Structure 1
Amino acid sequence: MARTHKAWATRTARDRSDTPARGRLLDAAETVFARRGYGPATIADITAQAEVSRASFYVYFASKEEVFRVLAARVRDAFLAAQDVPGVDLDDAHAVAEASTAAFIAAYAEHLPLLRLVEQQAQADTEVAALWQEIQERPVRRHARYIRRLAAEGRAAPVAEPLAVARAVGGMSVQFARLTAGRPSAYSKAVRDVTVMYLHLLGVAPHR
């Protein structure tokens, strides 16, 4: 039992490291799940896609279920990162709206096949269900905090409670991202349209 615990502890520590091999396995897993679906996808498919041995897979992940959960967490983090807009003045609501909208739509469109699988697996796996809840809620609540700050500083006049505005903007972004996933050429217009509607809901006049 002690040996098993030690092996698990070693693998867990390695999981936390951002190594190229682990990243390659995650990218391969996302490609395989998107192409084959959750059920038919196998560890052999993932290692073949990543061009690594099966043993290499087990250095970082215990199972197919675990690598899928890690992917779901990575998508959650991508949506949270979409609200981090380096190089953009956080006091400039217009710039933040455009940059965060662009990043969110791009992230959602990129991960759409996986997101669909996460939603499906959430029905059968409680850990995935918790991650799916986070994917839906954490970006919205973080966004709502930003809107509250703008309103408190007198730089925005939201048309509704900040959490409601954040949910509305998130919903619009998701719908436009789904369109963009099928028509990448529509991306720029989608970002413009959502940004305009976002600023309206925020109670900030668009640039003239």
Structure 2
Amino acid sequence: MAGRERSTKQAWVTREKLDRADSATRASLLRAAQSVFERRGYARTTIADITGEARVGRATFYVYFASKEDVFAVLAREVRDRFVAAQELTGVDADDPYAVAEATNAAFLDAYTANLAFITVLEHQSLTDPDMQALWEEIHSRPRRRTTRYIQRLVDQGVARPAAPPESVARATGGMVAMFAPLVARELERRPEVIAHVTAMFLRLLGLEPRE
């Protein structure tokens, strides 16, 4: 009996080690693929480029991914999930529109800046790939819908008098962040300034005076 228990325990330990190794290899391939896609673009990237970057054989690639399209789609979904996570604010008073505006714009700007190189490739690929077009739209539409609902709540509470319908204000704010992201990527020291300016413009669109 004790022998079987030791055998079972050893099997679990072995499986756990293999799972960790599998996870590490898959993660390495993803990071390598992202790096190559960002440097070479989608069309010029090959599986050989990715495996060379990851320093693994072609057979190893096919253990985890079916194709170049498959690994690119996984990376695109990761980016989408990061943008969704950026909307999950903690430690912010939901009833304070000034704090929410600043925290939301900062989180969205950081997500955009951190993923800017891949987003550029994804946007280009979305022009010809319907699946990537849907993902590209989802990356922007999820935050936009959440911001729209938040603005509408402020309107219903009599807190905000937006300059345009809530959905239009949410769309404009997302566009401002996207436009400023390349600047912050080049000049990181300007991040606080950009967040302050975008937040001030957003508050103006809401009909709120910026705080000193």
Query: Do the structures match in fold with TM over 0.5?
Result: yes
Give deviations 1:47-101, integer Å, cap 9, x for gaps.
Answer: 3333444333323321111111121222222222222111212112111111111
CA distance in 2, matches of 1:52, 1:74: 22
**1:30 correspondence with 2:34:** yes
**1:176 correspondence with 2:180:** yes
TM-score by length of structure 2 reads 0.81
**1:201 correspondence with 2:210:** no
**Structure-to-structure mapping, 1:66-81, within 5 angstroms:** 66-81=70-85
**Structure-to-structure mapping, 1:24-173, within 5 angstroms:** 24-173=28-177
Q: 1 or 2, which has the higher helix percentage?
A: 2
Contact 1:83–1:143 (CA under 8 A) maintained in structure 2: no
Higher-Rg structure is: 2
TM-score by length of structure 1 reads 0.83
What one-letter code is carried by the residue in structure 2 that aligns with 1:64? K
CA distance in 2, matches of 1:33, 1:126: 19
Contact 1:43–1:54 (CA under 8 A) maintained in structure 2: yes
What one-letter code is carried by the residue in structure 2 that aligns with 1:54? R
Alpha carbons of structure 1 residues 61 and 158: separation in structure 2 relative to 1, 3 Å: same
Alpha carbons of structure 1 residues 47 and 88: separation in structure 2 relative to 1, 3 Å: farther
Alpha carbons of structure 1 residues 25 and 196: separation in structure 2 relative to 1, 3 Å: same
CA distance in 2, matches of 1:177, 1:196: 17
Greater shift after overlay, 80-89 or 149-158?
149-158
**How far off its partner does 1:166 sit?**
0.2
CA distance in 2, matches of 1:19, 1:160: 47
CA distance in 1, matches of 2:184, 2:34: 19
SS at match of 1:88: coil
Alignment length (residue pairs): 191
What one-letter code is carried by the residue in structure 2 that aligns with 1:50? A
**1:188 correspondence with 2:192:** yes
Alpha carbons of structure 1 residues 156 and 59: separation in structure 2 relative to 1, 3 Å: farther
CA distance in 2, matches of 1:178, 1:128: 22
CA distance in 2, matches of 1:54, 1:129: 28
CA distance in 2, matches of 1:204, 1:79: 26
**How far off its partner does 1:157 sit?**
2.2
SS at match of 2:115: helix
